[in-house]
Amino acid sequence: MAVALVGLPGAGKSAVGKRLAQRLQLPFIDSDDLIERRIGCSIRDYFEREGEQSFRDLEQEVIADLAAAPRGIVSTGGGSVLREANRRQLREHFHVIYLRSSPEDLFRRLRHDVKRPLLQVADPLGRLHELYAARDPLYRETAHDVVETGRPTVAMLVNIIVMQLELAGLIAPGTGSDPQV
């Protein structure tokens, strides 16, 4: 069973993905970490030096590699759904979950962020609205499930996803039982 989390920057793909992986005792894989290991610098620096298209090429290579041996809980980069080839690879080889968040919630979570190159602009909320408008349909096209992230905490989102995976027959009931209960 392999799950890929998609959604805008700040949707909780890393935070939720890590806890979900712990809960299901599966490896957690962050595709942006894999890219940073390949390039040997931060994604933000790489964007500045080489530009977005070059980053997207690398991203596509990493997604193709992951799809060739799907495993664990994968946190994808927010733009990984932009290319049709990536959307197909993700949908065919992973159970894809879209963590949907409003631009306002994302802005609240990321207002002090300095790592995400696309948000280092004068009006990050405006940029989040643009990204949402362009990408929400692509996340929906790629995903098998959509989970609303506005109100629930990270722990609650993990519970919701475990329940959905059980209902979909992807994990046996009780596999992800909450150790605190």
Ligand X SMILES: O=C(O)C1=C[C@@H](OP(=O)(O)O)[C@@H](O)[C@H](O)C1
Ligand Y SMILES: Nc1ncnc2c1ncn2[C@@H]1O[C@H](COP(=O)(O)OP(=O)(O)O)[C@@H](O)[C@H]1O
* Residues in binding site for substrate: 32, 56, 78, 135
Distance CA 66, CA 96 (A): 13
Q: Binding site membership for ATP: which residues?
A: 10-15, 116
CB of 71: closest distance to ligand Y in angstroms? Answer: 19
Closest CA to 150 of 94, 101, 116: 101
Q: Which stretch binds ligand X (CB under 6 A): 83-91, 115-123, 139-147, 158-166?
A: 115-123
Size of the site for ligand X (CB under 6 A): 10
Q: What does 15 bind: ligand Y, ligand X, none (CB cut-off 5 to 8 Å by kind)?
A: ligand Y
Q: What does 43 bind: ligand Y, ligand X, none (CB cut-off 5 to 8 Å by kind)?
A: ligand X
Structure token pair of residue 70: 């799907």
- Chain-centroid distance of CA 69 in Å reads 18
Q: What does 118 bind: ligand X, ligand Y, none (CB cut-off 5 to 8 Å by kind)?
A: ligand X
Q: What are phi and psi of 51, to 5 degrees?
A: 90, 165
- Residue 92: CB atoms within 10 A of its CB come to 10
Structure token pair of residue 168: 């979909």
Binding positions for ligand X, rule: CB under 6 A: 9, 13, 32, 43, 77-79, 116-118
